[in-house]
Structure 1
Amino acid sequence: MKDFFPVMKVAVLLLASILCGSGPACAVEEKQAPLPIALEADELVFDQKEGVYQAQGDVHLRRGEATLAADRMQFNEETGDAQAFGNVRLLDPEAVVSGEALTLNIDSDVGSVRNGRIFLPKPNFHVAGSEIEKLGKYQYRIADGTFTTCDGERPSWKFSARQLDVTVGGYAWARHVFFHIYDVPVLYLPVMGYPVKVERESGFLTPRFGLSDKRGTELSLVYYQVLDRHMDATFFLDYYSRLGVGKGVEYRYFLGHDNDGQAKLYHVSGLDGNSDQVALAWQHMGTLPGQIWLTADAQYVSSRRYFSDFGEVAGEYNRARAESVIAASRHWGNANLAGQFRYLRQLNEDDEELPVDDDLTLQRLPEVRFDILRRRFGYTPFYFRLDSSAAYLWKKQGEKVGRIGLRPEISAQFNPGGWLEIGASMGYLERVYAWDGEQEHKGVPDASLRLGTRLSRVYAVDGEVVRKLQHVLQPEIIYEYVPGVDQEDLPRLEFEDFIGRRNTVSYGLVNRLIARQESEQGQVDYHEYLYLRLAQEYDISRSDHSDLLAPQRDEAERWSALRTELVVRPTRHSYLDIDSRLATSGGGLATFHAEGGLEDGRGNGLALRYRYWRDEQEYLSANLDLAWLKPVYINYEQRYSLDSSVTLENVLNLEYRAQCWSLFLSWRDRRDEQEISFSFALTGIGKTSHPGSRLDETL
């Protein structure tokens, strides 16, 4: 029987919980013992009749995590009332309150401070006032007060208000507000709210102002709205004196785990005969139920003029088409199923979509692939893989063709002597086409053979940082063969619809230098200083893979361009990348791309890029970041066309970064437009960095 009553008690409590749920009427109050109070001072006198302590000299009254300190204090232990005078400080984890004199009830957290200040450490928020009322643990009311996020007795900026209500973790609401730069009032607001927390908060961002040759005077106003922990929305209102008024919304979401995305809608009302412009964009990536990976990058603009009017970076303002891709895939071990819808919308020079009878853009709606990655047959050196695809190819004006491709492959890997690598493969690509009631198929075999090895040697360096250096040499020779097959009966909608004859031998040689580095603490790290690859191909039979009747080539013409890839990393903060193709049969460089840069890890850096395509294009670009002039930060970009001797673009970004605010100035100069924009940010309030028209953001 002794165990009956405890079991009965648990049963009754459990039944009550089930019947009542979690409502307040059913809550069982558990009285907690009051926190102990500690009072320390140089001199301490207790009036037993009144129940009041009189304390003087370095007085500290502690209760839990809160401490009240002063030069002199009177404390009633029965009522919990405290009066403090001289160098008063009330400290807790959320705030620090200081002043000349303070009255406080430590039980209700209600009191007042004369000539007081409040400092909230997490948002670095400072409040001052002639009279501060403490209305609760996290609430204050200030008469004739000021607030700022700047440190110092004379802050760079501040707001002053006739009445100010502050909720820690919420907002500071003010009435009859003046904005001051130092002590000079420059702006009046009848009412305003300012966030007093570090979490995301809804509210207006600081505006952006600009001037542009195309758009005229620009003014961007942005409101940011938190919808919940996983969603938010940004509303844009932009004014362009030469184009109209832009309105837009950007919705961002995070659905848990790895699902996130954003969608944007933007509309510009035309002025002076300009037609309205509309843009839509959606980006998403994440895993759906059933382990299906979904990605989307869809875009629509009403005209090509949208890109030229609002594009801010190269590749955006000169775009002539809008592309939308939605893709899904699913993996099962070595098998992968993927499908996508890809739509290209071409826009002509007249700012309109191409007429239906002129649009020859090839669309793939839809396209599906099923692949089995290379799988080994037991413990043998033989492997199998399968590549397959199905697509519906069509043009608004032109053919509409269904295409199925199937390519199985058998390969083998051998390692005789432990140093020689031999790889061989044989495949067969079968394609089936169907169009206008007709059907045709064709198969093309292929084979390849690879010989390679890996040689390495380690050198003892025994430097202060680099202890060992490894040199790796990887030569390889590859033979590829595809017989000539008559494919004249097959449709040709794109390059891959014709598979030309191939009978080539190629070589490659890779050099790598890898250092083993050890820190003073004994931590080991590896750094690749150099990667150099040389590759070239020799055509045994014909010169033109797209024409079976092409004549034989001269011996020198059978060699392809010599490709050189060089990657140099002298330090963690410097690099040089080169990719070139040199025509060994004459003609010099076919392409040459080089990029190099260095940075010091403190905001200073320089990057140079050179691009050359023979008979097509040659240009140079530079990017410079400077933090030497702190608090002024400089970013400069330039693109220069060497073949036409003209500057394509100049961009200068300046930021003056103070302790509690930043000022931004941007200047952009393109061949057909100049633009200058200005914005600023106060700590605690984000800035409007760009108008709502921009579509080139990525997840």
Structure 2
Amino acid sequence: MLKRYLVTLCLLPTVTTVAATAPQTDADSADQCIITPPVPPLSKQSKTGNKDLSQLIKIKSNQSNGTLGDKATFSGNVTFTQNGRQVTADQAVVDQQKQKFEADGQLVFQDGVVTVTANSLNAQMGSRVATLDNAQYWLNGQQLHGSAEQMEITKDNKLVLKDSNFSTCPIGDESWLLKARRIKIDPEEEWGEIWDAKLEIGNVPVFYMPYMTVPISGKRKTGFLFPRISSSTTNGFEFAAPFYWNIAPEYDLTFTPDYMSSRGLFTKTEFRYLAGDRQFGQMNLEYLGNDSMLENHADRWMVNYRHQGAIDENWRVLANFIDVSDNNYFNDLNSDVNRSTDNQLSRVGDISYFTEFWNFSARVQDIKVLGEDISPYQVMPQLSFNYRSPGFWNKFDFNLYSELTNFEHRGNSYNTATRLHVEPSVSLPFQGPAGSLTSEVKLYQTYYVQRDVQRADVLLDDNVSRSIPEVRVNGQINFERFSNFFDTQYRQTLEPQFQYLYVGHRDQSNIGIYDTAELQQDYIGLFRDRRFSGLDRIADANQLTLGLTTRVFDEHNVEQFRFSLGQIAYFENSQVSLYSDQLTEDTSTSVLAAETDINLYDDWFISGAIQYDTKYHDNKKSEVTLDYRPGPNKLVQLSYRYVPDLVNRNTNDQVDISQAGIRTAWPLTDNVYFVGNYYYDLNEDRSVETYTGFQYESCCWAVRLAYHYHIKTNYEDNYNPVLDNRELFETSFMLNFVIKGLGGSGPLGVSDMLDDGIFSYRKPLYLRN
């Protein structure tokens, strides 16, 4: 009869590894990404506080024999366990005199993160070194697996693999395999060192490196990242090879030499840092010397600095500075900071202090507009103070906004100014399930000191004091009922809303325009108390806004339908315009603004908005989108937007937009995704953008091929002239290739592809479900 034996010895060193991080998929997916070892892995166990007990090994077997202090032999289902590690074998021998342990026959070594099968195991108890021959290893719960002629576990718990290989591809279908003469894995540092590495793709050697390092977790490591390849009519053939430098736990730097055959060597440097637990920053430097595409072969550069965070519980800081060598920098070069459609460069510095009822901030701001001769005013500086006192007296709320702003300008023909503004308000809000009613009284008190007014195009006063009262009453009633549509019960709401607004009139033509622009009159904008942003113009008003919203909710309280309609009725025409030479219109009503969101059926959604001029019977602005979203990464969107030239009837700015587009993302197979968009200008009768991208992604590698054709926004550059035949459209091809498990995760999913191009993907307007 077989008997079970239990022997307790002090034998092997502790062995731990850290698994490489990699994306995981559903266990039932056709392309299984988790590599399963031949036996179930052991669960991780906490370390014991007793060092002696942590070195004890328990040996179980069907049979054993031996002499105390000499040799002991174990056979038949031999199992060794030690503090979360386990070795199983057919037979094993312990030589206590030579401090040696040997095991062979269907040998399996396991701990919480690694599983190893081998022909034999030899351990030196004195030197705490163990060697496994002909080893196969798996990192539990991860994609990484491989083999080695010999695996050594050193006394300091490092793993040394000789004549080995590894991959993250499914077993038997290794699309790529990395072979090496020697691999050293340091579980504590979470890195692997590789000597004489040879990368094979489809059994074809494509890459050799005498020495390289790779992460076995998400830990950062100095080294080259995967290159990017593209070709365009503007830059020619382009090859970028980023190099990552892990300077310290709080600092890192990425340097990217980007060679463009039509322009030259374009270098990009990105430095990131952490300042404590709650502050972080980034600096970008980009430089292209002697641009071959420019007539004067000028140097081109970009500098950007960002910092933000919290100093403590009350103080917040924000800083952002960016500058470029010329107006067309972002149009021509693939910057890591801005898109080609960004033409405003904001430079901001802000420090703020927050408490429960008040806050203070100091701010400086400068905006550079690319391609524009007129520059905005600089805020140098602005000090603001806000105070809130809810329920300060008999349910009345008190609010105070104040600011002191100094405006400067680089131009010699512009005046400068300092503005002091104080804006106290008292409101009485009533809110409940049936509706709400808020009454508010406000005073705009502003004082200007304007300097060098003779430089201005219009007649300005040196000192202006302006006091404007405001009275506003805003109310809403909520009705609801249960209704049946298509044999399904829904909850429908009816939400009428009104607002009466009175703002006193003051002549403001003697005040310059420093930070003010006209606001949109969409449905939400109808209920604003201001017609202009900024404080240089406060329009007088005596008007009533009426609006109506109805919603339909299903049994899960998900909004399936929403429609809003509203318009302003003017009792008196406003006498305040943005500029003194701008005519004011004599009209009794504003635009009729409407918006809707509808879940048409299952995965079909339609959304639209319109601003209709009831006086001139013109469509001032409209947009509509039709979405089909049946699942993740499945999308078809049709869109149309229309802005006629009559939108700015009283100015010289002519806007005439009529564009239709389609955008789609769809999985062609389990591994292949397609993303594309096409936008057409109906007025110009031409395409303005075409994007087509295919992405293949498996457990172990990913590749993306994309084609992009789009219109360019070319600006005039007096100090950096370009060729007269500057291209209006650009055509480019892009190729990204990533091998997972060698330090990169690659292009995962399709969300970033949807954001490529001029028109990034937007969900239907104001969608709330």
TM interval, short-chain normalised: 0.7 to 0.9
CA shift, 1:359, in A, is: 4.8
Q: Note closer, same or farther for the CA distance 1:182–1:58 as it changes in structure 2 (3 Å cut).
A: farther
2:72 corresponds to which of 53, 64, 75: 53
Match of 1:426 in 2: 441
Deviation at 1:305, TM superposition (A): 2.2
Match of 2:699 among 634, 639, 659: 659
Residue 458 of structure 2 aligns with which residue? none
Does residue 1:143 correspond to 2:162, yes or no?
Answer: yes
- Partner of 1:162: helix, strand, or coil? strand
Q: Does 1:247 align with 2:287?
A: no
**Structure 2 residue 491 is the aligned partner of structure 1 residue 470:** yes
State the Cα distance separating 1:252 from its structure 2 match: 2.4
Counterpart secondary structure, 2:105: strand
Structure 1 position 648 matched with structure 2 position 688 = yes
**Given the alignment of the two structures, is residue 565 of structure 1 paired with residue 600 of structure 2, yes or no?**
no
Contact 1:154 1:182 in 2 (8 A): no
Deviation at 1:657, TM superposition (A): 0.8
* Number of the residue aligned with 1:435: 450
2:634 maps to 604
SS state at 1:266 partner: strand
Match of 2:537 in 1: 498
Write out per-residue CA displacement over residues 256-303 of structure 1, whole angstroms, 9 at most, x where no aligned residue.
554333221111222435222111122333212461222333321111
The answer to whether the Cα contact below 8 Å between 2:435 and 2:478 also exists between their aligned partners in 1 is no
Q: Residue 635 of structure 1 corresponds to which residue in structure 2? A: 675
Once residues 622 and 550 of structure 1 are traced to their aligned partners in structure 2, the CA distance between those partners, rounded to angstroms, is 39
Residue 420 (structure 2) pairs with residue 362 (structure 1): no
1:527 and 2:550 matched: no
For residues 50 and 252 of structure 1, do their structure 2 counterparts lie closer, same or farther at Cα, with a shift above 3 Å needed?
A: same
Distance 2:585 2:629 in 1: 49
CA distance in 1, matches of 2:434, 2:50: 76
* 1:677 equivalent in structure 2: 734
* CA distance 1:141–1:333, change in 2 (3 Å): closer
After TM superposition, the structure 1 = structure 2 runs for residues 116-135 of structure 1, keeping only pairs within 5 Å, are: 116-121=135-140, 124-135=143-154
Inter-CA distance 148–108: structure 2 relative to 1 (3 Å threshold):
farther
Whose relative contact order is higher, 1 or 2, with alpha carbons under 8 Å and at least 6 apart? 2
Q: TM-score, normalised by structure 1?
A: 0.83
Residue 376 of structure 1 corresponds to which residue in structure 2? 391
**1:84: Cα distance to partner?**
2.2
Cα deviation for residue 459 of structure 1 reads 2.5
105-114 vs 257-266, which moves further? 105-114
- Deviation of residue 253 (structure 1)? 3.0
Q: What amino acid maps onto 2:399 in structure 1?
A: R
SS in structure 1 of the partner of residue 133 of structure 2: strand
- State the Cα deviation string for residues 288-340 of structure 1 (Å, max 9, x = none): 24612223333211111211112589993244442222233322333232332
Is the CA contact 1:444–1:482 (under 8 Å) kept in the aligned structure 2? no
Tell me, yes or no, if the aligned pair for 1:502 and 1:545 is still in contact at 8 Å: no
Closer/same/farther in 2, CA of residues 106 and 532 from structure 1, 3 Å limit: farther
Alpha-carbon deviation of 1:574?
5.7
Please give the root-mean-square deviation of Cα atoms over the aligned residues, in Å: 3.5
Contact 1:114 1:131 in 2 (8 A): yes
Q: What is the distance in 1 between the residues matched to 2:130 and 2:337?
A: 60
Q: Which amino acid aligns with 2:511?
A: L
SS in 1 for 2:242: strand
Deviation for aligned residue 1:146: 1.9
Cross-structure match for 1:328: 351
The one-letter code of the counterpart of 1:32 is D
Give the match for residue 226 of structure 2. Answer: 206
Structure 1 residues 574, 292: closer, same or farther in 2, change over 3 A? farther
Map of 1:216 onto structure 2: 236
The C-alpha deviation readout for 1:635-692, integer Å capped at 9, x for no partner, is 22333222222211122222211211111222211132111121211222227879xx
Aligned amino acid, residue 439 of structure 2: A
Structure 2 letter corresponding to 1:324:
R
Q: Is the 8 A contact 2:575 2:584 kept in 1?
A: no
Give secondary structure in 2 for the equivalent of 1:234: strand
Separation in structure 2 between the aligned mates of residue 457 and residue 318 of structure 1, nearest angstrom: 45
Change (3 A) 1:205 1:122: farther
Which residue number in structure 1 is paired with residue 256 of structure 2?
236
1:359–1:396 contact (8 Å) kept in structure 2: no
Q: Deviations over 1:232-263 (max 9, x none)?
A: 32221211112221222212234455433322
Q: What do residues 124-182 of structure 1 show as CA deviations (whole Å, max 9, x unaligned)?
A: 33232333333346323333322222231351111222333333353333333321113
Task: State the partner residue of 1:686.
Answer: 744
SS in 1 for 2:329: helix
Letter in 2 for 1:173: E
Secondary structure at 1:563 match in 2: strand
Cα gap change, 1:186 to 1:653, in 2 (>3 Å): same
Contact 2:117 2:136 in 1 (8 A): yes
Distance in 1, matches of 2:255 and 2:433, equals 64
What are the superposed Cα offsets for residues 15-36 of structure 1, whole Å, 9 maximum, x if unpaired? xxxxxxxxxxxxxx98634644
List gaps (5 residues or longer) in structure 1: 1-28, 349-353, 518-525
Residues 372 and 120 of structure 1, relative CA distance in 2, 3 Å threshold: same
Q: 1:623 aligns to what?
A: 663
CA distance in 2, matches of 1:68, 1:477: 77
Return closer, same or farther for 1:77/1:565 CA change in 2, 3 Å cut-off.
farther
**In structure 2, do the counterparts of structure 1 residues 134 and 462 end up closer, same or farther at CA, with 3 Å as the change threshold?**
farther
**In structure 1, what is the equivalent of residue 523 of structure 2?**
none
- From 400, 403, 406, the equivalent of 1:389 is 403
Say if 1:178 and 1:411 are closer, same or farther in 2 by CA, change over 3 A.
closer
Which deviates more from structure 2 when the two are superposed, residues 73-82 or residues 335-344?
73-82
Contact 2:468 2:506 survives alignment (8 Å): no
Name the residue aligned to 1:485.
506
8 Å Cα contact 1:593-1:612 kept in structure 2: yes
- Contact 1:543 / 1:550 at 8 angstroms: preserved in 2? no
1:611-652, CA deviations, whole angstroms, 9 ceiling, x for partnerless residues? 211222122333312124121122223332222222111222
**Counterpart in 2 of 1:177?**
197
After superposition, residues 86-101 of structure 1 pair within 5 angstroms as 86-101=105-120
SS for the counterpart of 1:643 is: coil
Aligned AA for 2:397?
A: Y
Q: Does 1:155 align with 2:174?
A: yes
Alignment match of 2:607 (pick from 570, 573, 577): 577
SS at match of 2:393: coil
User: Contact 1:41–1:56 (CA<8 Å) still a contact in 2?
Assistant: yes
The alignment's TM-score, normalised by the length of structure 2, stands at: 0.76
Counterpart CA distance in 1 for 2:624 and 2:126 is: 71
Alpha-carbon distance in structure 2 between the residues aligned to 1:75 and 1:544: 101
Asked if the contact 1:245–1:270 (Cα under 8 Å) also holds between the matched residues in 2, the reply is no
1:590–1:613 CA contact under 8 A, matched in 2: yes
Mapped pair 1:192 → 2:212 = yes
Native 8 Å contact 1:123 1:196 kept in 2: no
Q: CA deviation at 1:571?
A: 8.2
Secondary structure of the corresponding residue to residue 396 of structure 1: coil
The one-letter code sitting in structure 1 at the alignment partner of 2:545 is: S
Measured in 1, the distance between the counterparts of 2:672 and 2:61 equals 49
- The answer to whether the Cα contact below 8 Å between 2:633 and 2:666 also exists between their aligned partners in 1 is yes
Write the distance in 1 (CA, Å) between the matches of 2:684 and 2:238. 32
In 2 relative to 1, CA 115–423 (structure 1 residues): closer, same or farther, beyond 3 Å?
Answer: closer
SS of the aligned residue for 2:608 comes to: strand
Quick check: 1:307–1:317 contact (8 Å CA) kept in 2?
A: yes
Q: 1:196 to 1:253 in 2, by over 3 A?
A: same
Measure the CA separation in 2 of the matches of 1:341 and 1:332: 22
